Structure 1
Amino acid sequence: MTDAKSPFAPLRSHLFLAIWIAAMASNVGTWVQSVGEKWLMAEITRSPLLMSLIETGSTLPMLILSMPGGAIADIVDRRRLLLTTQAWMLLAASAMAIFSALHLVTPGLLITMSLLLGVGAALNAPAWQASVPDLVPKDQIAAGVALNSAGFNVSRAVGPALGGLVVGWLGPTWAFALNAVSFVGVLVVLKGWKRQPVTTDLPAERFSAAMKVGLRYTRHRKELQVILVRGGSFVFFGGPIFSLLPTLAIHHLNLGSSAFGLLLGCVGVGAVASTLALPTLRAKVTPNQLLALATAIFATGLLVLAFVVRVIPVALVLLVCGGGWLTVLSTCNTGVQLSVPSWVRARALGVYITVWGGAMAGGAAFWGWVGEHWGIHTAFAWAGVGMFLMLALTARLKIQALHEPMDLSPHRQQAHAPEPIHPDEGPILTVLEYRVPEERKAAFQEAMREVRRIRIRDGAVRWSLFHDLAPPEPGQLRFVESFLSSSWGEHLRQHHRATVEDRAVFRRAYALGIEAKPRIRHLVGAWEDRDSLLDRIFE
């Protein structure tokens, strides 16, 4: 194995190593805080619903803010964004420590502070995950992503155990204070990161436009939709493991804070063990088979939890479920990274995290409600059955990017206007004229379906294909493709967004025509009131 291909190669970069260590320490602090929150809530109330709302409060912002966070991360300096979000979380954790020290904590305040920390985490996550290519060479990106995952799972193993000890010996206040301190290291490292700014001749992308393009891309990228369905449904049905574990440990197993922390740490230990085993497993089964196997194992664990009432069996189940959880989510995360080009990576990750957070928040509230009315063991049983049904329904949905490598590197093609035009001028109508032999009509129309998907997901707001009733010559057909862009600047961005794989699709469509390339024209909207024209076009 060459140095570049070593799984630890990114750690040779002093910057990556510093950020990796600081992030791992911060994640440990987050898990310590989580134990403190759940233990404090368990002391205040016995309600499974209120207990589950702690999980909802921390994950609900993922549903609302991850997509905006991804759009922001794609259009601003990610380093500055990360500094802002880390400082926000430091302040939120510090406030929680102060309220706890003054004995002012109520269930509502605890859920609110959990929500504020979740806001910072939701805005931070897309930028953090999308920054890996900025820290390591291209041939080490996969190893960098894997190391980030491994660091998170080490934190997941250590953090709950440490949290249990801190809460047991010093109380929840010190757990919150420790989390606040854990953000300092990340801030120091980020402050020293001299990130190279991304240079471009294009005008700055507007936030609202970036959001729309990101959502449009997700809608028209089938590979991404498969990941969202499989990952989101898994997280929803797997939610009781995290949201109902405090109730199970404290009120059914009668555990203290230290034992509860160790029990929660079993999930992390299982995740770390699966990280070490994944290379061997991936060599023996396909990624989609591994995804199905891990889902089935996790569902079985949920069913077992519905019937066991002893500590050791519960701990063993959590070890196994931790491995299944990590395997499913790391496989889905890798699928997202491999399915999208760099220009929309943070937005795609934002959509993925949004679905993940929504499923986690909704699942926590739903399974807490089930536990409140029918008992937590019933909730575990229903969740296990639901996950098996989900597996059966989604078994045919394959994550293609894990099997077939795609060349998503940019294939920049310049767009030329016959006369100078301001980037804000628009809308722009692009018209392409094709001459196609009559016998290739069906093949050409089928090829243009894929062209349509690419045009729309790269930013076109309306696309159409017309067939001229008057043939140019006997045996020939004339097709006219047209699509709209909101401005000339947005049209230029569409050229920059096209990948090598996209251009291959275009060339296949062009090859079906008589001419090497279609005739292209660009038209600008002839209307003084541009907003009125856009309203008429896009209504």
Structure 2
Amino acid sequence: MFLTYQSQGGVFTTASPRAIPSHSTTQGVAKSTPNSRPVRHMRRGHPLGVLRNSQYRRYWVAGFTTFTGFNMQMLIRGWVMYDLTHSPFMVTMVTAAMMMPMLFLSLIGGAMADRVDRKTVTIVSDVSLLISFLGLFAISVAGIMAPWHILSVSMINGVAFSLAVSSRQSLISGLVHREQLRTAVGLSATTYNSAQIIGPAIGGAMLPLLGPTWTLGTSAILVIPAVILYSSLEPIKHTSVNSAQGSIIENVKTGLSYTFKMSTLRFLMLGAMVMILTVGPFQSLMPVFAKDVLNVGAGGLGVLMLAAGVGALIGSISVVAIGDSVGHEKLELIFGLSAAAALASFALSPWYPLSIVMVGITGFSATSFMVVNMTVVQLSTPDYIRGRVVSVRFLVIGLMPLGALTMGFAAESFGAPTAVAIIAGIGAVGFTLVQIASRILQPAQTDTKS
């Protein structure tokens, strides 16, 4: 499923895994390197077979602990910000401050992923997260928390994620066989999605019992095992990786040129852009809905975030289970439209139980869309430039602050329910237009490396 697409008389079909150029094959490259090591063969076709690989298991658990702590942080930061300012716009600014650096640094991070050891970059990023989490905890203990503290730490976290996210994702290709890469990439999404369940659940439970300060402290502790696990990984060293020539700027230009030259990648980026600017930022306003719209307080906020996380986890696992039985364009249209419809229903729902169901469906559909999108991006890209292409994808994700701020501004102007419903409708139109354009404008040849 998640490969380049051909056009035969106007009909788009899925290319075989063998259509990927040989230079992008993990095993083929690794055999020629002195630092390569055998990776145990796994049964093909089994969705969870890759988890028998101890290297990948450690990678997955490390990501899970990091993102669990991070999701706890973002929940508490949004809650504290709303307590301090009573402004929906300032709540969305927490997400915006964290995502904004991706607009400026993700491309540099992608170039680093193709020049510098990916494992090292990932570890340095997690250490910086740990230090910033402890810093915010200390500020809260001192009783001097102010909005600028929350925004500053969120921006620091954004810098760390932006510089390391391509390395973290591209590291997967050194841990598994090429034939397992589709499953491994899909399952990697469950690290964040399962953390969306556990993180807000822990945070939502601790918030009314212990308060925000000790919840922040707990989230910092969770990053420590992640650093240890990442340090224990032994990824295969590919001859085509970490050997990019020229300056960082030249590497960035090469990545952008490659991405926009390939029609499949172009439309993947456009689809992701629609999701990020419309449906994607919906969780940034969850504190507003919990407090002022549904009147369910901190405990209710935790349940809403839990529902979104459960939906997201089921969505990412479902995409892995679907495999290559359905084309990615059809899946993206289905998931995109269902995410927009569910979000509009959530926004207009006056009943808390219905809101829980709708936010769960939104999480399911939005995450399924993004997992399909990211998997196609990775499998359509050879190893030597994967970090840079992935960074373009995260550059698109870096547009989320624009979507979050637009949603926050509209919520202050028209009220959160009306604003979110209108933006969800715009998203539905956008998903449809991108898929129509991809069928009309995509050239009648398979994208390959020139």
After TM superposition, the score normalised by the length of structure 1 is 0.71
Residues in 2 aligned to 1:136 and 1:202: alpha-carbon distance in whole angstroms: 21
TM-superposition CA deviations, 1:220-239 (whole Å, max 9, x none)? 22221111111111221114
Match of 2:17 in 1: none
Q: 1:222 aligns with which of 244, 254, 263?
A: 263
Matches of 2:172 and 2:445, distance apart in 1:
19
Q: Secondary structure at the match of 1:75?
A: coil
- Name the structure 2 match of 1:479: none
> Which residues of 2 match residues 62-101 of structure 1 at below 5 A?
62-101=102-141
How far the C-alpha of 1:147 sits from its partner, in A, is 1.9
What letter is aligned with 2:166? P
Higher strand share: 1
Instruction: Report if aligned partners of 2:72, 2:203 keep a CA contact under 8 Å in 1.
Output: yes
Counterpart residue type for residue 7 of structure 1: P
How far off its partner does 1:243 sit?
A: 1.8
Match status 1:128 vs 2:128: no
Q: Does the 8 Å contact 2:333/2:432 carry over to 1?
A: no
CA contact (8 A) 1:82 1:127 kept: yes
Provide the rounded CA distance (Å) in 2 between the counterparts of 1:280 and 1:203.
Answer: 35
**Match 1:232 to one of 273, 287, 291:** 273
Structure 2 residue 424 is matched with structure 1 residue 384 = yes
User: Could you say which residue in structure 2 is the equivalent of 1:156?
Assistant: 196
Conserved? CA contact 1:85–1:124, under 8 Å = yes
Residue in 1 that maps onto 2:156: 116
- Whether contact under 8 Å (2:58, 2:230) holds in the other structure is no
Superposition deviation, residue 90 in structure 1: 0.9
Task: Summarize the Cα distance change of 1:202–1:75 in structure 2 as closer, same or farther, 3 Å threshold.
Answer: closer
Q: Of 5, 14, 35, which residue of structure 1 is paired with 2:54?
A: 14
**Rounded Cα–Cα distance in structure 2 between residues aligned with 1:286 and 1:130:** 24
Aligned match of 1:315: 356
For the aligned residue pairs, the C-alpha RMSD in angstroms reads 2.5
Matches within 5 A, 1:307-386: 307-358=348-399, 360-386=400-426
Partners of 2:169 and 2:139 in 1: CA distance: 32
**1:39 and 1:246 in contact (8 A); partners too:** yes
Unaligned runs of 5+ in 1: 409-498, 503-539
* Distance apart, 1:306 and its partner CA: 3.5
Alpha-carbon deviation of 1:198? 4.3
Q: Is the 8 A contact 2:282 2:404 kept in 1?
A: no
Deviation of 1:70 (Å): 0.6
Rounded to whole Å, the distance in 2 between the matches of 1:203 and 1:271 is 36
Deviation at 1:51, TM superposition (A): 0.9
Match of 2:316 in 1: 275
Worse-superposed segment, 8-17 or 112-121: 8-17
In the alignment, is the contact (CA less than 8 A) between 1:302 and 1:383 conserved in 2? no
User: For this pair of structures, how many residues does the alignment match?
Assistant: 406
Partner residue, 2:231:
191
Task: Report the Cα offset of residue 202 of structure 1.
Answer: 6.7
Equivalent in 76, 79, 91 of residue 39 of structure 1: 79
In the alignment, structure 1 residue 257 sits paired with structure 2 residue 284: no
**Is contact 1:167–1:175 with CA below 8 Å preserved after alignment?**
yes
Contact 2:167–2:387 (Cα < 8 Å) also in 1? yes
Counterpart residue identity of residue 92, structure 1: S
Match of 1:427 in 2: none
Shift of 1:185: 1.3
Q: Is the 8 A contact 2:175 2:236 kept in 1?
A: no
Instruction: Please report the TM-score for the alignment, with normalisation by the length of structure 2.
Output: 0.84
Task: Answer yes or no: is the 8 Å Cα contact 2:110–2:167 preserved in 1.
Answer: yes
- How much does 1:160 deviate? 1.0
Question: Which gives a bigger RCO, structure 1 or 2 (Cα 8 Å, sep 6+)?
Answer: 2
**C-alpha separation in 1, matches of 2:174 and 2:435:** 35
The Cα of 1:76 is off from its aligned counterpart by 0.9
Q: Distance in 2 between matches of 1:248 and 1:241?
A: 10
1:168 to 208, 222, 245: 208
Q: Show CA shifts across 1:324-378 (max 9, x none).
A: 11111011101211222111111111110111121x1100011101111111112
Mapped to 1, the partners of 2:80 and 2:423 lie a distance apart of 26
1 CA distance for matches of 2:244 and 2:340? 49
How much has 1:195 moved relative to structure 2?
A: 4.0
